[in-house]
Amino acid sequence: MGFVQRALFTWFILLVFLVVLCLRLENRIYWNWFLVFIPLWLYDIILVAWAVIEIVQRQHANRLVSLHHYKYYVVGIVLKIFSQITICLKLEYKSIPMYVMMIPIWMLLALLIVFVGTHLQPKPRSIGSNRSNRQSAGVSS
């Protein structure tokens, strides 16, 4: 599936979820909150399947690839699922304190900060790569 198809599918799932959410919030439907979140559960199942397929394909293609590269993806998906569960529990039963509901979301945000912080660092260059760039710039001057 190409990038455009994945993006359109993601927007379609989000649109369906928002329509069902609006219907539930306006009391036009009286579904359980876990049923309202079905489009997001479907999307989570697809995300988990994609992650597993990627890991298996990479492991099969290159025996040296470790699962270390995919730890952020797996932990992020699990925290997303836990945060949806706690939101549904809070909305349905109202007995869960707000700070308990927010714990998976805070953990997910902390994970995102660590992921972005570790992946935005420039990759170290080899010693000779900078010199060759200077020489080519000097020749064209």
CA pair distance 59, 128, nearest whole angstrom: 33
**For residue 88, what are its two tokens?**
């549904």
Contact present, 83 and 108 (Cβ < 8 Å): yes
- pTM value is 0.73
Q: Which of 2-16, 48-62, 78-92 shows the lowest mean pLDDT across its residues?
A: 48-62
The Cα-based distances of 69 to 21, 28, 118, 141 in angstroms read 35, 45, 12, 43
Tens digits of per-residue pLDDT, 70-108?
778 888 888 999 999 999 999 999 888 999 999 999 999
If one counts every other C-beta atom within 10 angstroms of the C-beta of residue 43, the result is 19
